[in-house]
Amino acid sequence: MTTCWVIYNGSLVSDKFADQARLVAEAAERAGVAVQIMKNHDILMDLEKDADMPDFAVLLDKDILLGYFLKSRGVPVYNDPAIIDLCDNKATQYIRLASVGLPMPRTIVAPKVYPNFSILESGYFERVMEELTFPMIIKEGHGSFGMKVYLIENEKVFYDKVEALRGIDFVFQEFIASSRGRDIRVNIVGGEIVAAMYRHSETDFRANITNGGVASPIELTEAQKQMALEAAEAVGAVFAGVDLLFDADEQPLVCEVNAAAHIRNILNVTGVNVADAMIAYIMEDLR
Ligand SMILES: Nc1ncnc2c1ncn2[C@@H]1O[C@H](COP(=O)(O)OP(=O)(O)O)[C@@H](O)[C@H]1O
Ligand SMILES: [Mg+2]
């Protein structure tokens, strides 16, 4: 019997992470796989000792080191940790997306500044403000659920934020006003669109459901489908949650690709259980 670990992060207290793992584990069970749900810290990454390993692992977290560890032990890991690594930092992700020419908000990757130092006097930030006007977006490299995405309305807030972010990877980004409080989430598995939803917030510029957004099913246009698939492919994610924005002509722009996308909301909204597609993909891939 095929065995598998479904891994989530044990340090996060919200039930949504365990819930995500249960959804995937149930799908694996339905496919006849002997599945074990694991917290990342259940696994001792002892580099000396051998331990029993599963036939494959579904890594629902950004514990990239665990992914690399499992791979070093011969375990196929989905998504591949190198892909989670690339996507986990929005800056590296945008560099990749831009390199294949995907339409996205104008983006400037911030330079590395060591936390105890400052480049306030260098003139660098004034150059950024010449390129991007207010309001603009500042987005931390690592962040989910909209929590590390900021709408910067003026210079005072801008300077406060860039000083606060010393030592942290982030990007400056054009604010797509036509997309204020609305976006599209597209779930992709193995190069195919499995489900999509429209997210809309009355209270915030961010459409994330965790942030107060409300979701509904949506029929994607051909342009939206194409762009979501191209974005997932550009970063190499077999499992992807692609966020799309609306430009001034209602045409899509890539907002981000999530390599560890949650699937509960999309199940509630569309009735599509993305986990079944994920497991089906893996079983086929392993054959
Ligand atoms: N450049 C932008 N212009 C307008 N809205 C944006 C922009 N970038 C992000 N948003 C909004 O903020 C939300 C969160 O941004 P996102 O990059 O998806 O980060 P997270 O990983 O936190 O979901 C998006 O779903 C979208 O509603
Ligand atoms: Mg997002």
**Residue-averaged pLDDT of the chain:** 97
3-state secondary structure of 155: helix
- How many angstroms separate the alpha carbon of residue 159 from the centre of ligand 2? 25
Give 144-196 as a DSSP string: -TTTTEEEE-SHHHHHHHHHHTTTS-EEEEE--GGGTTEEEEEEEETTEEEEE
Asked if residue 256 has pLDDT above 90, the reply is yes
On whether the CB atoms of residues 77 and 71 are closer than 8 A, the answer is yes
Burial class (CB in 10 A: 0-12, 13-18, 19+), 169: middle
- What percent of the chain lies above the pLDDT cut of 70? 100
Map out the domains of the chain with their CATH numbers: 3-82 (3.40.50.20), 107-175 (3.30.1490), 178-286 (3.30.470.20)
On whether the CB atoms of residues 77 and 278 are closer than 8 A, the answer is no
Distance of CA 95 to the CA centre of its chain: 15
Q: Which atom of ligand 1 is nearest to the CA of 243?
A: 18
Q: Which atom of ligand 1 is nearest to the CA of 213?
A: 27
Q: Which residue do the tokens 């797509």 mark?
A: 176
Q: Which two tokens stand for residue 61?
A: 């977290």
Query: What is the separation, in whole angstroms, between the first and last Cα of the chain?
Result: 13
Give all strands of the β-sheet with 252-258 in edge-to-edge order.
Answer: 214-217, 192-200, 182-189, 239-246, 252-258
**Tens-digit pLDDT profile for residues 38-89:** 999 999 999 999 899 999 999 999 999 999 999 999 999 999 999 999 999 9
Report the distance separating Cα 284 and Cα 275, nearest Å: 14
Residue of the nearest CA to atom 10 in ligand 1? Answer: 206
- What percent of the chain lies above the pLDDT cut of 90? 97
Confidence of residue 211 (pLDDT cuts 50, 70, 90): confident
- How many angstroms separate the alpha carbon of residue 258 from the centre of ligand 2? 7
3-state secondary structure of 39: strand
Asked if residue 272 has pLDDT above 90, the reply is yes
Asked if residue 96 has pLDDT above 90, the reply is yes
Quick one: average pLDDT of 244-269? 96
